[in-house]
Amino acid sequence: MDYGLTETQVMIRDLCRQIAEEKIKPVRQKYDETGEFPWDIVRVFAEADLCGLYIEEKYGGTGGGVMDLVIAVEELSKACSGIALSLAATALGAFPIILFGNETQKEKYLPRIAKGQALAAFGLTEANAGSDAGGIQTTAVPDGDHYVLNGTKQWITNGGEAEIYTIIAMTNKSKGARGATAFIVEKGTPGFSFGKKENKMGIRASATRELIFQDCRVPKENILGREGMGFIVAMKTLDYSRPGVAAQALGIAAGALEEAVQYSRQRHQFGKPISAFQGVQFMLADMATQVEAARALVYAAARHIDSGAKDISKVSAMCKLFASDTAMRVTTDAVQIFGGYGYMKEYPVEKMMRDAKITQIYEGTNQIQREVIALALIKEAAAAKRP
């Protein structure tokens, strides 16, 4: 099917497909079992110039925007979404700098990210602040030309491996969400350390760690935007990054479909391949249709964002919601098609099913996505009635 990709985007897709087949598939089971961070594959991404797909050329990137990132993440996630997440999560950490950083901050940090010299991460979530992003407890108190950060962030993707972190902390708790501020914090800053690495059900090749701040002094020039803009920085960042999660989910679903089709042609029962049975054919047909529908929505959302449109929250939430729900359905059906073998770790679909689940949860649960979509619809309807 023609997805209207540019010549450059076709090259990105084919390159990522080659990396997925030659570099990721042979090691994905190892990384899933050990939970090690895949630095050898991350270096491959850097050498292939994939780390700066969404970063402007003047900062060392290729300037392709969200769409180019989506294409890469989808293809890499077909092989292993945990490994691909190192790229997508770095984009999540970099988007606040791209969207709200001043020229000095962009020149300092973006070239390192674009060249793959440093990974990035985004620190919003805490033990009591997940869906309720306004409930964060980490504080930042001004002290001369610095702010002093204290608190703990939880479940931070790329935690401990990244060099550059965007951290949301409260500078004025009395103002609620309007009292949050976004800071750039570098690994190695005194008072900034890492807690336990989580032992996860899926995406095990991705590092998920606590970030701990104990009297961590951050220069005032590391504020993104201005004091009190932290919640705006966080929400706008998520609007831009959710298509990346959607692409991850899409890749998982597409990869599971490919595995299921191939297996159905090879597995024989009652004297013929199971692909000859109508029950299996209908499952494959539904899986393929769901994947194509998800891809159409994810690509449309990415292009809408890259167009410079202002109202992107609804379509961003829609693509994340639909693609992740699709990934869960498709991987569940893929395991069913594999039968008993699908339940075994020697076959990739059980891993894909475990990986798919997180896409319904992180960067905003799908219940939160539905709320975002519904509120946008209500707001649009109210605006349409005005003279």
The residue written with tokens 């407890």 in the block is 137
Q: Which amino acid is at 35?
A: G
CA-nearest of 215, 138, 144 to 182 is 138
Contact present, 93 and 121 (Cβ < 8 Å): yes
Quote the CA–CA distance of 71 and 14 in Å, as a whole number: 10
Quote the CA–CA distance of 58 and 138 in Å, as a whole number: 34
- Looking only at the bridges linking them, the beta strands covering 120-123 and 164-170 are parallel
Say how far residue 221 (Cα) sits from the centre of its chain.
27
Q: Which of 126, 346, 363, 380 is catalytic?
A: 363
In the annotation, is 363 catalytic? yes
- Other Cβ atoms closer than 10 A to 373: 17
Residues catalogued as catalytic: 363
